[in-house]
Chains A and B, each alone.
Chain A
Amino acid sequence: MSNQQQKPGVFASICRCLKGLFVRDKLSFLDEEALQTPFKTIAKNYFRNKLGIIGLIVFIACLLFSFVGSQFAPSTFTYFELTNGNLRPSTNYLNFPKDLDGNRVVKIVSGISFSFALMDDGQLVSWGTEPNIRQENVSDYVLAIPEEIRSKRIVDITTGGRHVLALDDEGELHGWGYYGHGQTTLPDDVRREMEASGASIDQIYAATMWSAIVTSDKNLHIWGSQQTIQNFKLTRAMRGHVVKVATGDNNMLLLLDDGSLAVIGDRSSEFHGNVPKELTEGSIAVVDIVACNRNALVLDANGDIYTWGSTMDGLTRVPAFDQDVRTIEAGYKHFNALLEDGSVVSWGANQLSQLDTPKDMPALTAIYADYFQNYGIDEDGSIYAWGNRGYILGSDEFGRDMLHRLIHGGRISLTVGAIAILIEVIIALFIGLTSGFFGKWVDHLLMRTTDVFSAIPFLPIAITLSYAVGSLLSEAQRLYLIMVVLGVLTWMPLARMIRAQLLVEREKDFVLAAKALGIRQQKIMWRHILPNVFNLVIVNITLGYASLLLYEAILSFLGFGVAQPTPSWGNMLTSAQNSAVIQYYWWRWFIPGLFVVLAALSSNLIGDALREAMDPRENER
């Protein structure tokens, strides 16, 4: 009796079928389970796997970092600033101590990544990031003010890129920081000459590679990197007549005591060559001289500005001022003018945001600019800072921002991997399916071809090929070459797997069942056999992608992959073949390496989780 009630009658079931054609009624729990698409099942299984979710999140994060990041990050990833090479990760270049009283500040000077303030009591305050590395035994750290100087009363201070010179009230010169060219200590011959003439140090100057002083008898002495200072030749007319100096790295602008100007240093530069005629004659009353690395600027008594030098970065295009200029300060590649009303006008290069003055800045009483940093002080004594804050992931040997290169490098690495895997899968599908379908001699021929390719040693041939062919190609073409080489040398295992899977699936019972039902051969292939093969392909795409990322990184690391200056995660590591880089500049190899590992690991996790999700039997594993 009860049995009969459960069984619907023939009429009832026909009714339900007819109804089902027109009205879609709500499905019971069991029906819904049965109707779940394979895709849904896979997704459900996938998200049950914790490792799979982690992998997916990390991988998406890598994708967002590279592809979305490259939309926001400036595409100036090849922009280099040699002076800023090998700076460690930090963003505190402008973080002056909060209790620094602007009214007591006499002077602020900056190096590439640090700044010093000279206070009115002769003490020094330093902030920023240490640009130097600790060499064996001797410290060339610049931020730590040496003990013997703390007790001295400092009257003047100046900074080169990585070193500092300070003059105390007894006329003694102190130097510390990077001393690779001896630029931190006054040479003995200069000291002897000064003792002989009884002169004292009047002014101190420093550039990236050298230091200079002007003595009270108006003599200029320069010491430091021989390569640079051998160009600094003083003529008789200059000796004993130097009043003031403005320094670039390779040139110096001298103001002589007769009011005329002279330039010494690298003769091939525009700094040296393009000096306006009227200035060298001494007919103009010069008030101030300043210099960027490759540009000079002169302010005369009428408030007129003369400037010459490199035409790059718009340094020679002086903006029109509606007021008088109070002072002009020069950074490494920019000029700042403080106008009478206390506002600041800047021009020059802005790659390190040197020109981005704070918006709500009140009228300033003093400005300081050096290298890539700017400081302004207002009437209340509060300090404003703008310019290069630092590199969040450090800089490489050419002073390029590692973060920008990582973002764009990721874009390149991930794209190269993706296209290589596409090539690999297309070849593997073609070979695997053709050999599985046709069998017989086609199968034999294709499988022997596969054998040939598998016997080719991957890394040696990849290296040889990308070198042999790569030298004929341009940089962009080499990128395609890497994709092709990676794709063409890795398809063999996948092709074998596809063929084997095809053969296995063809013999399975459900194919026999389908045949028995009279389903067309073609439909059996497409609807019953190939979906099972494609599952395998999808899993192997993710797993293969991971290994292609690694191969690209390895090739580029060895110098046979993506060519500089285009970044890729692999070629950012190339310099790590140098032991000094491994030892001192950990951020240059650790961070790109970590990104490669993360991308490969997450791709592997996704592949593993997908395999488990697609084949429930694999859960047994």
Chain B
Amino acid sequence: MLRYVIKRLLILIPVFLCIAVILFGVAKMMPGDPVRAMLPSNLKHDQYQMAYDAMYRRLGLDKSIPEQFFAWFFNMLRGEFGWSSMNNRPVIDVIAEPMRNTVILNIGVIFLQLLIAIPVGIRCAVKRMSVFDNAWQVFSLIFWSMPSFFLSLCFLYLFSIHLGWLPFGGMPSSVTLSGWAYFFAWIRHMVLPATVLALISIAYTIRIVRNSMIDALNQDYIRTARAKGLKEKTVIYSHAFRNALIPISTVVVFTIFSLFSGSPVTESVFAWHGIGRMLIQAVMMRDTMLIVTLNAFFAVISLVAVLVADIVYGLVDPRVRLS
């Protein structure tokens, strides 16, 4: 098992390097002068020129491109992500709060997603072609084809404008509220974005759980188990579900890691101050270092997710780790 994990880890290193090169290339392509963005605009001409040159050297722009790349890369490994020109603060400080907001939002989403989608998916597979199954199939098809912003807009229109039950996007303010009131304000602001995100991911997860369960239920060993006279519950949960676990575990792992990746669209529509919305703002404001850091962060998350998924594969399926 350890060998398997190490092998997987070693494969990741060149992949990560390639991604870093791509991200660096994108950052270099960003329009605008990174030096000018960092300088105050009220300097006199010659002063400005001096400050410009100093900053140019400080950012290492006088070095060759490969040198710049490695300087940036190792700085990033050390946890120095550079300076956010949009907020005029180090990137690491800027990211902290949106990250917290995104995680809080996503915890709710993931709870809903896993608690609803897995049992429903299993039941759909067991009661294939029943009314229950058909209803959920239609549900998942509709929400699977629904762009998140459209669903968000419909929800905003219905629940916060028309019915007035929930706030029109935004975040609760910690200045005016405190204690339980603050907590409930959080919940009220979270309901709509969390529901939108959850509906779409539930639709997607149900399809996967259902399909892998059906595949498992069609196997010969299920017939054998039934022929032995096992209880239907045992057949489904210990024979079929265990074998369906490989694709399902991938989904669960990716879901759990999506905790940290914000959703730019939904967060923008609901003005939820999360990491996805921050990315869009950063792009709008041409904050190169922030963009690169966020993208690198998302890439690392997905790489780690792949790694963990592979390890979980190995855990649930001995064939994988032996081959």
Contact = CB atoms under 8 A, between A and B. Distances in A.
B29 A456 contact: no
A477 B165 CA distance: 45
A604 B153 contact: no
A4 to B, nearest CB: 41
Nearest to A621: B214
Contact of A452 (B19, B29, B211): B19
A373 to B, nearest CB: 32
Contacts of B210: 621
Interface stretch (A17-25, A33-41, A148-156, A462-470): A462-470
B37 to A, nearest CB: 15
B280 A468 contact: no
B131 interface: no
The dominant DSSP class at the A interface is: helix
Nearest to B162: A583
Contact of A448 (B15, B146, B154, B218): B15
Interface string A308-349: 000000000000000000000000000000000000000000
A577 B147 contact: no
Interface in A414-431: none
Contacts of A583: 157, 161
Interface string B209-229: 011001000100000000000
A590 B291 CA distance: 31
B283 A560 contact: yes
A460 B147 contact: no
Given A463-B264, A596-B150, A621-B214, A582 B15 contact: no
Interface stretch (B81-89, B112-120, B292-300): B292-300
B26 A465 contact: yes
B295 A554 contact: no
26 contacts: A451-B306, A452-B18, A454-B306, A455-B16, A455-B299, A455-B302, A455-B303, A456-B299, A456-B302, A460-B295, A468-B30, A472-B31, A553-B149, A554-B147, A573-B149, A573-B153, A576-B153, A577-B269, A583-B161, A586-B157, A593-B147, A601-B141, A601-B142, A604-B141, A604-B145, A621-B210
Contacts of A454: 302, 306
Contact of B153 (A456, A461, A468, A582): A582
Interface in B244-278: 261, 264-265, 268-269
Nearest to A451: B15
A471 B31 contact: yes
Given A455-B303, A589-B153, A448 B14 contact: yes
B106 to A, nearest CB: 15
Interface in B147-178: 147-150, 153-154, 156-157, 161, 168-169
Interface string A548-577: 001001100110100000000000010011
A448 B11 contact: yes
A98 B219 CA distance: 72
B145 A460 contact: no
Contacts of B295: 457, 460-461, 464
A236 to B, nearest CB: 48
A459 interface: yes
A235 interface: no
A464 B264 contact: no
A460 B149 contact: no
Interface in A598-621: 600-601, 603-605, 608, 620-621
Given A554-B148, A560-B283, A457 B128 contact: no
A448 B157 CA distance: 45
Contacts of A448: 11, 14-15
B145 A582 contact: no
A113 to B, nearest CB: 23
B214 A620 contact: yes
Interface residues of A, number: 47
A603 B269 CA distance: 26
Interface string A170-196: 000000000000000000000000000
B153 A467 contact: no
A603 B144 CA distance: 11
B65 interface: no
Given A455-B302, A460-B279, A582-B157, A468 B26 contact: yes
Contacts of A597: 145-147, 150
Given A461-B295, A558-B264, A593 B150 contact: yes
A472 B157 CA distance: 37
A486 interface: no
Contacts of B142: 601
Nearest to A592: B150
A449 B18 CA distance: 9
B160 to A, nearest CB: 9
Contacts of B22: 452, 456
Given A461-B26, A557-B149, A583-B157, 11 more contacts: A456-B22, A460-B264, A460-B294, A467-B283, A554-B149, A558-B268, A560-B283, A573-B150, A586-B157, A601-B142, A604-B144
B268 A601 contact: no
Given A451-B306, A455-B15, A464-B283, A469 B29 contact: yes
- 4 tightest Cβ-Cβ pairs between the two chains A and B: A457-B298, A593-B150, A601-B145, A600-B145
A464 B299 CA distance: 14
Contacts of A596: 147, 150
Nearest to B32: A471
Contacts of A582: 153, 156-157, 161
A456 B265 CA distance: 18
Given A451-B306, A455-B15, A550-B147, A464 B26 contact: yes
Contact of A550 (B14, B19, B145, B154): B145
B218 A620 contact: yes
A546 interface: yes
Contacts of B156: 582
Interface string A427-453: 000000000000000000000110110
B148 to A, nearest CB: 7
A465 B22 CA distance: 11
Contacts of A469: 29
Q: Most chain-B CB neighbours within 10 Å: which of A454, A455, A469, A583?
A: A455
Interface in B6-35: 11, 14-16, 18-19, 22, 26, 29-31
Interface centre among B31, B145, B218 (most CB of A within 10 A): B145
Of listed A449, A546, A558, A573, residue having the most chain B CB within 10 A: A558
Contacts of B145: 546, 550, 597, 600-601, 603-604
Interface in B122-140: 128
A579 interface: yes
A256 B294 CA distance: 69
Contacts of A457: 261, 295, 298-299, 301-302
Interface in B284-323: 291, 294-295, 298-299, 301-303, 306
A292 to B, nearest CB: 38
B150 A455 contact: no
A600 B145 CA distance: 5
Contacts of A467: 30, 283
Contacts of B14: 448
Nearest to B217: A620
A600 B147 contact: yes
Contacts of A463: 264, 279-280, 283
B15 A452 contact: yes
A557 B269 CA distance: 10
Interface in A450-503: 451-452, 454-457, 459-461, 463-465, 467-469, 471-472
B11 A557 contact: no
